[in-house]
Each structure stands twice: as structure tokens, then as C-alpha cells.
Amino acid sequence: MKEQPLKGQVIEPLSGSLFGDVILDRGDQEIKHNILITVSNAEGAKTVLITPDSVMETSPKHFVETPKERVVSGAELWMKKLSKYATIAGYLFAALMLTFSAASATGYVKARVVLTNSMEPTINPGDIVITANSTRVVPQVGSIIAYQARQFNGTPVGVFTHRIIGGNALDGWLMKGDNNPSPDIQKPKGADVLGTVILTIPKLGLLFNRRLLFTLIPLLVGLWFVIDTLKGGAND
């Protein structure tokens, strides 16, 4: 606690390198009222209370009441956090989709949804596998690849994602699902090798199930409506 500053005197609690010198210029008038001064910058803030008898460092919360319109309620705070996280998640998802779309358009990677349990427990139904072009990520024994399965007459029947257990790129790879009792009949090679698995995203492919989409879309719309209603009520 210090005596009342004179005209043009530096207020000591506010002096120093943090804020620079703060000088009280009260003219020829005596200080008859309490004065609360807060100085802030990027490095911090400091508050001083000047009374007719003294100068003391203090906290503004002891003297200033936050206006009602600036008081954030629990529901509003929750809504702001939810909105913030949803926005961040949306931007991240959009960035991921744009990146993947660009990579997919160039033929570098492809995404496929696994439908069977032939590769359990390594890959499960509903997982999405990301494959890279086999010219960029060269398959070898032990690799998991996606290949074009064909009938004996050469008719395409689907895409299998199985593990290489033998063979070579020239004569054809010996394939087997981790959960299958025996190797595949076909030995893919050349253009039938569609890509080497570089990433597995668990269960995300379940979202592409038509029945689930019909359930999920109304649920998301309903959730958006509830959030928008709560947000509107918090702003009233």
C-alpha cells in the first residue's frame, strides 16, 4: 500500500518493462473518489486501485460485476464447446476427404470396404482398406493385396483382399485369407494385382450400409435440430 500519487507521478505497481510507465495526471484536483485502473497487453494484465489515501495492486473481480449479457451459462458454454469441436472435426474430415480424393484421382491410393471375414482377425467385415498402387508399394510375401478375382473363363467375380504366402510377381502370387483353411485357387499377377494394403480403418465401412444410412441420417438431423434449439434458447 502506497500514498496517493502526486500530479504527474508514475504509478509504481504499473511501472516496469511489462507495461511501461503509467503516469496519473489529475490536474489540480484532489482525488476524492476511488479509481480502478487495469492495464493489459499480450504478456498479462495488472490492476491498481487508487483511493484518496493509498495506491494498491488488486484484482478487478473484487470491484467489477460482469454484465448479464456477458455471463456464459453452463448450457451456452457446452454449446460453444460442442460447436467448436464439431467445426474442427468438420474441417479435418473435409481436409482428409480432399486429400484422399486427390490421391485417389491420381491412382496412388484406393479405398475398399471389406465384406467377408476371410481375413479375420487382421481385417474384419466393415473395415475399410486403403491400398496403394503396386508399382509404388511393391508387394512381397507377407503383404496383403487387393486383387481382381476371376472365374476359370476369366470373367471377373469381385475383388479379394488376401495375404501373399508365396509365389512371385512373374508367375503369380500364392494367396490365402488369414481365416481361410486353404489357399486361393487363383494366382494373381500383372494387372489383376490392384494394390497393396497400406492402412486399415476399422468399422468405418459400416456407415456405407444402406440400412444404417437410413437410420444415421435422421439421427444426425435430429441432433442438429436439438443443438440449434438449445443454442437459440441460450441466446434468448
pLDDT in tens, 89-123: 878 877 877 777 777 777 788 888 899 999 999 99
- Rounded to the nearest integer, the mean pLDDT of the chain is 78
Which residues are registered as beta bridge partners of 151? Answer: none
If you ran DSSP here, which 8-state letter would residue 95 be given? Answer: H
Q: How is the chain split into domains, by residue range? A: 9-64, 69-104+212-235, 108-202
The reply to whether CATH 2.10.109.10 applies to domain 108-202 is yes
What pLDDT score does 159 carry? 93
Residue 15, C-alpha cell as written in the block: 511501472
Report pLDDT digits (tens) over 1-40: 445 554 545 555 565 555 566 666 655 666 677 777 777 7
**Is 151 buried (19+), middle (13-18) or exposed (0-12) by CB count in 10 A?**
exposed
Cα(220)–Cα(1) distance, integer angstroms: 59
Cell, residue 213: 444410412
The Cα–Cα gap between 169 and 140 comes to 8
Bridge partners (DSSP) listed for residue 49: 36, 56
**Beta-carbon-side half-sphere exposure of residue 228 (alpha carbons within 13 Å):** 6
Q: Angle formed by the axes of helices 210-235 and 74-105, to 10°?
A: 140
Report residue 84 as a C-alpha cell: 467448436
- Is pTM beyond 0.95? Reply is no
Cell of 160: 479379394
